[in-house]
Amino acid sequence: MQKGSVLIVDDEPIVRESIRDWLRDAGYQVATAESGEEALEMIEKQDFSVMVVDIRLPGQTGISVLKEVKAQRPWIKSLIITAYPSAETVSEATKLGAVDYLIKPVVPDELERLVRETLGAMGREPTVTTKLEAQPKPPVVEVVKVKKSFVITRGSLKSLVENLTKEIEVVGVKSRDNKYVYDRIASFDELCLDYDVTVTPPTKYLMPAKETLLKFKVGDKPRVEPVIEDIPRVIIGVHPYDIKAIELLDEAFLATNPDPNYSTRRQNTIIIGVDCLNPSPKSFAPGMGTHLTETGFDLLLTDIGTAYMVTVGSEEGADLLAKYAQVREPIGDEIAKQKAVRDEALAKYELSLDVPRERLPRLLEDSYDDPYWESRSRTCLSCGSCVMVCPTCFCFDVQDEVSLNLKEGERSRIKDGCMLVDFARVATGENFRHDKASRFRHRIYRKGKYILERYGRFGCVGCGRCAIACLAEIASPVEAFNAIAEAARVKEEAKRLVKEVRPETELYAPRFAELVRVGELTPREKVFEFRFKGGKGLGHRPGQFVEVSVMGIGEAPISISSSPTRDGTFQLAIRNVGNVTKALHALGKGAIVGIRGPFGNGFPLETLQGKDVLLIAGGIGLFPLRSLIQYVIDNRGSFGRVILLFGARSPAERLFLDELALWSQSPEIEFHETVDKGDESWKGHVGVITTLIPKIQIDPKKTMAVVVGPPIMYRFVIGELKKKEIPDENIIMSLERRMKCGVGKCGHCQINGVYVCQEGPVFTLAQLRDLREAV
Amino acid sequence: MKPKVAFFDFTSCEGCQLDALNVEAELLDLLAAVDIVNFREVKTEREDNYDIAFIEGSISRESEIPRLKKIRDQAKVLVALGACACIGGVNCLKNFLPMDEALRIVYKDDAKYYDTMPVRPISAVVPVDYYVRGCPINTNEFLKVVRALLLGKKPEISNYPVCVECKMAGNVCAFEKGMFCLGPVIRAGCNAICITSGRYCWGCRGLVDDPNVDSEKEILQKYGLTVDQVMERFKLFNAYQEVAK
């Protein structure tokens, strides 16, 4: 059914064609024209009932088309559509016979209704001008509503920006030295809207690095005069995380004790944001919930490829669009496209916060004494780069400067930061955050706890600038947050263990063994042979140790001197040096002592098997090594060459004389012995133990060296072994440490992170190279 | 009563003391505020009665020591002017040579007429009240110190590294531009002029009070300098502090 014929005149194809389709669907006969000229040509040839005409047309404007139509075809009823309504245009158009007008973006139902009413009124009402005058349309601001999103072409955005540069200071993101910075822009082409992150944040336009607060006069009649800068400014290209940072500054500087300098600048600043679609690899904005924002901007752009979506955040933003830009309603999949590009951007973030950010304050609360702060801040340069590039760091110093005539001056505030050494120093010289660790911790606490508790927003927006600026690579809050979260998780798991574990009630309680034999080695050293009740073996490996108790005196770690191959009893060779050993030396056959263990890893028998073994003992290093020597002799077939070197300080300090004699005669082992200092009776080799090493020939590829002796010996022996080209992995050492508990709890035996009683006492040199406290 | 001010130079290029007067707009105010009673570069009259002594140059000869001590005895306030006086400066590069070799390189056959000794900053000889750092000095900082002294207050001289002012200037980090920079351990006050001008920090203002030199060295190595090159960087202006460690 033909309801009537309609001509649509609009230069924007999308508008023209969509109106055509709506009206066709509604049953009208529709023709279209791209320009005023084309429309007038068509009207010459064909009659129409209604003309829908855009006011702003290239060439002949909508108003002049109306004039022509009124002159030539006065019966055609005209409706005007415009994105730029003004009282003047409307009144001019109605004088020229326009029936009504619609504001772009045009709503289909409303248009259809108007066309229908216009057609219905034809022939009944001569004019509807009075109706228009009686019911004036709402004013301009209704064009673009706050909180609504529209589509703006790049061309229209450009004209918006170019128009702004003519009227107001425009600041935007520019490229510099392959990075991005905020700076004054003079034209749209300078502007980068697709960037990862700027070197410094846009907050410098709200809080400059240095600004004058007061001008003053010095002297008997001092006077002060506040200095407040109010330069209207537009900042274009602000990412959501920076918008969130500005919202925090607003909270800190506007909510209580409103800061006159900040608030004046803030009120004079228009923020045009842009969604961050290619985030910096150091950014973790999603973790802080700042990768998107619905507030804090006047306008927010999203690059949807063909054009930009523009979301209106304030009346000021709406005014800007109304004044300088052409926008239209999103159509088709444009809304979906905006969501899609945002989702794609979200997937590009490389860093994530491992815990919900809401948990950060509590986590930090519980981690104040964590060793992390100390260890992680070791390389901190205290250079302040992290706080200087931070959008949420707003701390400052205040200084007076006077002129040389000493009559007037200025009081300024200068950006300052808690990572700088003197930040918390007072006039008396006291520095309340004097060490790197406490400053490092304080900054992270501000980011994840203090600021949140004070202002209700996190003090970190996850922009990652600090991580980029930090040469020591320690500044990223997400790294600190994740580290303490991990530490807390480990603690949490330990707590869970508490419920599941079945306590070993005998962990600290010794078993009792009987002393069955005592042999004197030297005046200071004795060998003790023990047997458990019922002859039960100790169940040890060579190189392990036990904790020996003399009840009432105490407990001491003693290495086991005998091989498990000679079980039934076990032997401990002991030098009389401390309370427990002194008490042991006083015991005779039949005495009862407490034994806990065996503890520790022992020598790596599996690795030694099939190899040539070079065993080196210095002094009472022979005590633990003897357990291995006996084991090797008792399993002689499992090893290649067996070379044994032993050195004592003097002939009188030689140990296990019987066994030394046995070994020296045994065809199964190559035994070399030396004393540091000889005497008349000594016929053997004289010299420190290292002097024996060059004498022996070994194959470094198949030789494992096992070295046990006093700490001083290790360095020199290792030097000689390295000359023989034995790799670090094949040099095995047993370390002496103060092992109080034997079960990895008390901490006394710890070397860096290693517990000697658990991972040791036997280590390869390769392992020890990483333990700087070891040798 | 205007304070009497004197300028003295030791081993130096004398550039800093000239820069002290290169203050253009404020020169007349400066001359109105102080009496310059002794300044070899600008006037012939000399008076040995002064309140404030500005010392340029480092100490490189025995004969300079009593002269400096005499100045110290006279001056109520003694201010070190420039890198040579404050930290020893480039002159200390000589300290890596045997002294007789250094003399021979400079004076050839005439070396026998001269004496020399390892170079040191003036603080190694006499107590120093204030420092105006840099090679050359920053005239604004010089004026800041003068104004503070006129007011009788302690000048607020930054004890933080160049990075702070460099970031305030909005610069892209020199390391990110492929350069090696001492900024993280060198005292600010220069407004990061070298980096802002496209170069890097050479360290002319000396180390901050508590520099993390180890970390800075690690960073320089991480970015590609050898250990020797790192030391060369530090030696240019900071040889005295580096060797004294």
Mean pLDDT over residues A19-29, rounded?
Answer: 86
Mean pLDDT over residues A433-455, rounded?
Answer: 95
Mean pLDDT over residues A610-620, rounded?
Answer: 95
CATH architecture of the domain formed by A511-599: Beta Barrel (2.40)
Q: What is the CA radius of gyration of chain B?
A: 19
Q: In this structure, are B134 and B190 located in the same domain?
A: no
Return the pLDDT at B82.
Answer: 97
Q: In this structure, are B95 and B167 located in the same domain?
A: no
How many Å apart are CA A492 and CA A490, to the nearest integer? 5
For residue A283, give the nearest of A348, A351, A346, A342 by alpha carbon: A351
The per-type count for chain A, helices as H runs and strands as E runs, is 26, 32
- State the complex-level ipTM: 0.89
Model confidence pLDDT, tens digit, residues A176-218:
999 999 999 999 999 999 999 999 999 999 999 999 999 999 9
Q: In this structure, are B95 and B166 located in the same domain?
A: no
DSSP states along A93-137: HHHTTEEEEEESSPPHHHHHHHHHHHHHHTTT-S--HHHHHHSPP
Return the pLDDT at A691.
Answer: 93
Question: A383 vs B183: CB contact, 8 Å cut-off?
Answer: yes
Q: What is the CA radius of gyration of chain A?
A: 44
Return the pLDDT at A142.
Answer: 43
Say if residue B136 is exposed, middle or buried (CB neighbours under 10 Å; 0-12, 13-18, 19+).
Answer: buried
For residue A546, give the nearest of A518, A584, A519 by alpha carbon: A584
Question: A472 vs B183: CB contact, 8 Å cut-off?
Answer: no
Domains A5-137 and A511-599 alike in fold = no
Interface of A with B in 414-443 (CB under 8 A): 415, 417, 420-422, 436
- Whether A379 contacts A181, CB under 8 Å: no
Chain A residue with minimum CA distance to B162: A383
- Residue A197 forms contact with B (CB below 8 Å): no
pLDDT of residue A125 exceeding 80: no
Q: In this structure, are B17 and B87 located in the same domain?
A: yes
How many Å apart are CA B169 and CA B110, to the nearest integer? 49
For residue A171, the cross-strand partners are: A184, A235
Angle at which helix A240-254 crosses helix A260-267, to 10 degrees, equals: 140
Low-confidence ranges of chain B (pLDDT < 50): 245
Distance from CA of B215 to the nearest CA of A (A): 5
Classify residue B156: in a domain, yes or no. Answer: no
Model confidence pLDDT, tens digit, residues A722-753:
999 999 999 999 987 878 888 888 888 888 88
- Whether A296 contacts A316, CB under 8 Å: no
Return the pLDDT at A95.
Answer: 77
- Whether A548 contacts A572, CB under 8 Å: yes
Question: A382 vs B171: CB contact, 8 Å cut-off?
Answer: no
- Other C-beta atoms within 10 Å of A528: how many? 25
Cα distances (angstroms) measured from residue A342 to each of A146, A306, A460: 21, 15, 21
Model confidence pLDDT, tens digit, residues A317-333:
999 998 998 898 888 88
Mean pLDDT over residues A424-433, rounded?
Answer: 87
Question: B167 vs A389: CB contact, 8 Å cut-off?
Answer: yes
Return the pLDDT at A127.
Answer: 34
How many Å apart are CA B174 and CA A199, to the nearest integer? 12
Pick from B26, B161, B177: which is nearest to A177 by CB?
B177
Percent of chain A residues topping a pLDDT of 90 = 63
pLDDT of residue A132 exceeding 80: no
Say if residue A734 is exposed, middle or buried (CB neighbours under 10 Å; 0-12, 13-18, 19+).
Answer: buried
Mean pLDDT over residues A355-377, rounded?
Answer: 93
Cα distances (angstroms) measured from residue A55 to each of A52, A145, A426: 10, 21, 69
The pairing of strands A299-303 and A308-312 is antiparallel
CA A643 centroid distance within chain? 54
Poorest-confidence range of A110-114, A381-385, A447-451? Answer: A110-114
- Whether A309 contacts A330, CB under 8 Å: yes
- Other C-beta atoms within 10 Å of B57: how many? 27
Model confidence pLDDT, tens digit, residues A137-164:
323 334 567 788 999 999 999 999 999 9
Q: Which residues on A lie below 8 Å from B143 (Cβ)?
A: 404
Residue A222 falls in which region: left (phi positive, over 0), alpha (psi -120 to 50) or beta: beta
Chain B residue with minimum CA distance to A208: B168
Would you place residue A121 in the very low, low, confident or very high pLDDT band (cuts 50, 70, 90)? low
CATH number at residue B61: 3.40.50.700
Return the pLDDT at A442.
Answer: 96
Question: B164 vs A176: CB contact, 8 Å cut-off?
Answer: no
DSSP states along A490-529: HHHHHHHHHHH----TTSSPPEEEEEEEEEESSSSEEEEE
A295 phi and psi angles, rounded to 5 deg: -135, 170
Distance from CA of B29 to the nearest CA of A (A): 6
- Show the domain range for B193: 162-244
Cα distances (angstroms) measured from residue A50 to each of A76, A97, A108, A149: 6, 12, 16, 31
Return the pLDDT at B76.
Answer: 95
- Whether A510 contacts A597, CB under 8 Å: no
Q: In this structure, are B181 and B129 located in the same domain?
A: no
Distance from CA of A262 to the nearest CA of B (A): 18
Query: CB-based contacts of B204: which residues, under 8 Å, 6+ apart?
Result: B83, B89, B133, B134, B135, B186, B190, B237
Pick from A177, A381, A402: which is nearest to B161 by CB?
A381
Return the pLDDT at A769.
Answer: 85
pLDDT of residue A407 exceeding 70: yes
Return the pLDDT at A126.
Answer: 36
Q: In this structure, are B147 and B167 located in the same domain?
A: no
Number of domains comprising chain B: 2
How many Å apart are CA A317 and CA A325, to the nearest integer? 11
CATH for A605-734, among 3.40.50.1220, 3.40.50.80, 3.30.70.380, 3.20.20.140? 3.40.50.80
Question: B160 vs A421: CB contact, 8 Å cut-off?
Answer: yes
Pick from B172, B183, B208: which is nearest to A179 by CB?
B172
Return the pLDDT at A122.
Answer: 56
- Residue A487 forms contact with B (CB below 8 Å): no
Query: CB-based contacts of B113: which residues, under 8 Å, 6+ apart?
Result: B107
For residue A575, give the nearest of A655, A664, A457 by alpha carbon: A655
Of the residues B123, B151, B179, the one at which a domain ends: B151
CATH architecture of the domain formed by A5-137: 3-Layer(aba) Sandwich (3.40)
Pick from B33, B167, B215: which is nearest to A381 by CB?
B215
Mean pLDDT over residues A113-128, rounded?
Answer: 62
pLDDT of residue A133 exceeding 80: no
Q: In this structure, are B137 and B52 located in the same domain?
A: yes
How many Å apart are CA A710 and CA A646, to the nearest integer? 13
Of the residues B90, B119, B151, the one at which a domain ends: B151
Poorest-confidence range of A124-138, A211-225, A707-721, B140-154? Answer: A124-138
For residue A573, give the nearest of A523, A528, A512 by alpha carbon: A528
Mean pLDDT over residues A705-710, rounded?
Answer: 94
Spell out the domain ranges in chain A: 5-137, 149-207+225-348, 357-403+414-498, 511-599, 605-734
* A642: its two tokens: 């067996």
Q: In this structure, are B74 and B181 located in the same domain?
A: no
Model confidence pLDDT, tens digit, residues B86-129:
999 999 999 999 999 999 999 999 998 999 999 999 999 999 99
- Helix, strand or coil, per DSSP, at residue A21: helix
For residue A529, the cross-strand partners are: A517, A571
How many Å apart are CA A478 and CA A470, to the nearest integer? 14
The pairing of strands A612-618 and A703-708 is parallel
Chain B residue with minimum CA distance to A419: B160
Cis peptide before A598 (omega within 30 of 0): yes
What single-letter DSSP state applies at residue B229? Answer: H
Of the residues B151, B176, B201, the one at which a domain ends: B151
Pick from B167, B177, B184: which is nearest to A381 by CB?
B184
Return the pLDDT at A135.
Answer: 34
Would you place residue A533 in the very low, low, confident or very high pLDDT band (cuts 50, 70, 90)? confident
- Whether B19 contacts B64, CB under 8 Å: no
Mean pLDDT over residues A521-547, rounded?
Answer: 91
* A288: its two tokens: 């802080």
How many Å apart are CA B72 and CA B55, to the nearest integer? 10
Chain A interface, best mutation among B142, B163, B177, by max A CB count within 10 A: B163
Question: B147 vs A406: CB contact, 8 Å cut-off?
Answer: yes
Chain A residue with minimum CA distance to B183: A383
Question: A436 vs B29: CB contact, 8 Å cut-off?
Answer: no
Model confidence pLDDT, tens digit, residues A501-523:
666 777 888 999 999 999 999 99
For residue A152, give the nearest of A336, A14, A291, A60 by alpha carbon: A14
Return the pLDDT at A25.
Answer: 85
Classify residue B157: in a domain, yes or no. Answer: no
Say if residue B177 is exposed, middle or buried (CB neighbours under 10 Å; 0-12, 13-18, 19+).
Answer: middle
How many Å apart are CA A7 and CA A706, to the nearest integer? 101
Would you place residue A57 in the very low, low, confident or very high pLDDT band (cuts 50, 70, 90)? confident
Classify residue B44: in a domain, yes or no. Answer: yes
Percent of chain B residues topping a pLDDT of 90 = 77
